[in-house]
Amino acid sequence: MDGDDTKSLIRDPWSDLRRHTPARIALGRAGPALPTQAVLEFGLAHARARDAVHQALDLEALEASLRADGYAPLRARSAAPDRVAYLTRPDLGRRLDEASAQALRTAAAPCEIAVVLADGLSAIAVQQHALPLLAALRAQAPQRWSAIPAVLAVQSRVALGDAIGAALRAHLVVVMIGERPGLSSPDSLGLYVTHAPRIGMSDAERNCISNVRPQGLGYAEAARKLDWLAGAALARGLTGVGLKDESDALPFSRVNGLRATENATSQQHNSNEAAPD
Superfamily of domain 65-236: Ethanolamine ammonia-lyase light chain (EutC) (3.40.50.11240)
What amino acid is encoded at 123 in this protein? Answer: A
Q: How many CB atoms lie within 10 A of CB 233?
A: 24
Cβ atoms of 120 and 93 within 8 Å: the answer is no
SS3 at position 193: strand
Taking only the tens place, the pLDDT of each residue in 25-83 is 778 888 888 888 888 988 988 898 898 899 999 999 999 999 999 999 999 999 999 99
pTM of the predicted protein model: 0.82
In degrees, rounded to 5, the angle at the alpha carbon of residue 226 between the alpha carbons of residues 222 and 228 is 120
Distances (CA, A) of 219 to 37, 176, 213: 32, 13, 7
DSSP 8-state code for residue 67: H
Rounded average pLDDT per 10-residue block, the chain, 277 residues: 54 75 80 87 89 92 95 96 96 96 91 97 96 96 93 97 97 97 90 97 96 95 97 96 86 41 43 40
Closest to 115 measured CA to CA, from 72, 61, 78, 86: 72
